[in-house]
Amino acid sequence: MLLNKTKSNTQKLTTNSQELKTNSFKTIFNQYNWDETLQSIFNKTTIDVENALAKDKLDLEDFKALISPAAKPFLEKMAQRSRMLTKKRFGNTIQMYAPMYLSNECQNICTYCGFSFTNKIPRRTLTDAEILKEVTFLKGKGYDHILLVTGEANKTVGVDYIKNAIQLIRSQFSNITIEVQPLDQDEYELLIENGLYAVLVYQETYHQEEYKKHHPKGKKSNFEYRLETPDRLGKAGIHKIGLGALFGLEDWRADSFFTALHLKYLQKTYWKTKYSISFPRLRPHSGGLEPKVEMTDADLVQLICAFRMLDEDVELSMSTRESEVFRNNIVNLGATSISAESKTNPGGYSVEPQSLEQFEISDERSTEEIVGMLKGQGLEVVWKDWETFNNKM
């Protein structure tokens, strides 16, 4: 009898363990249909928008209403609410960060990226000495938050290369973020041990069939592996995860809903982790792809305000993809972090300024000009927001 009970408990533990292993955002994602989701957003009415604006705490149905066409006449009211919530939570501050591209080598074919494997361009991966030269330039500008970016080429810029880069520069920055190929949980754990603070991983589009069209070759073609990357990060104990979709590949409203759905799942599942949302729109690049669905400036403002109203605590980031005028306005409406003087090519700051960019930036102002603009709007520039205990070791 005791033996049978022990076997039963063992089987139950094994089952629970398997459930934990298989439980991921994919389970939630598979419950939704893209076309039905998009239609439900377009079906939202003025009354739905007014009800959402009347609430202090919004749910995902309210978020749908705020990103729907029905919300367009309420944009000014949304902007005022977003501004108020941002000031309440983050004060009159905005964080500065800089991307540093380490390599443009990539084994993926991506229709929208200048680094795509099929583009016949000179490939470049920075050496240790070149990385340190780039660091010297950025530190001279005042940056203390760095985003390391590479193409997805495991043999050239795999875990060992990224680990070495982090170790090389960790004494120079309060925190280090990466935007590289998705990795396994144990690989993230290794990088965290060596000073990694945050990871940005964009799904690009949550439309599975369209995703396949834009990623026909390479590891990135595995939709589900990329979809479950934030789960692996959460299990690895990362401090912050950045989410987003590339607007222009598919309808921005549906992609934004699935980003919000993903965010809420992660916050509930990995509640010790912080989160950020980015809003990249398709930009010109070598081999260019025209946006399938246009996202106007007004659409982007609407979306940023909707995310702020959905979540007061989430960080909202705005890159140099956007124009000077747009960024001048959005810094007081919901954005909490901003880049400046960005170079999207390896060595672009000081090593090899003329190498191929991943995409064209729009706001080309210097760091000093951006800081002046922010201060002119009454914002305090934050260079150092958080520091890992062992970063300076």
- Mind listing the pLDDT tens digit for each residue in 323-346? 899 999 999 999 999 998 888 889
**Closest to 26 (Cα-Cα) out of 233, 256, 227, 254:** 227
Residue 185 to residue 169: CA distance in whole angstroms: 23
Confidence bin at 122 (pLDDT 50/70/90): confident
Residue 52 to residue 216: CA distance in whole angstroms: 40
Copy the structure tokens of residue 28: 């939630």
Copy the structure tokens of residue 378: 């009454």
Which pLDDT score, from 0 to 100, does residue 50 have?
98
SS3 assignment, position 56: coil
Sheet strands (E) in 102-224: 145-149, 175-179, 196-200
Count of CB atoms situated within 10 Å of the CB of 378? 8
Which pLDDT score, from 0 to 100, does residue 112 have?
84
Which pLDDT score, from 0 to 100, does residue 388 have?
52
Residue 84 to residue 80: CA distance in whole angstroms: 6
Question: Could you report the per-residue pLDDT of 162-183, keeping only the tens digit for each?
Answer: 999 999 999 999 999 999 999 9
Note the Cα 293 to chain centre separation in Å: 20
Residue 214 to residue 287: CA distance in whole angstroms: 13
Q: Distance between terminal CA atoms of the chain? A: 56
Residue the block writes with tokens 């810029």: 157
Which pLDDT score, from 0 to 100, does residue 319 have?
86
pTM score: 0.89
Which pLDDT score, from 0 to 100, does residue 18 have?
39
Which pLDDT score, from 0 to 100, does residue 353 have?
59
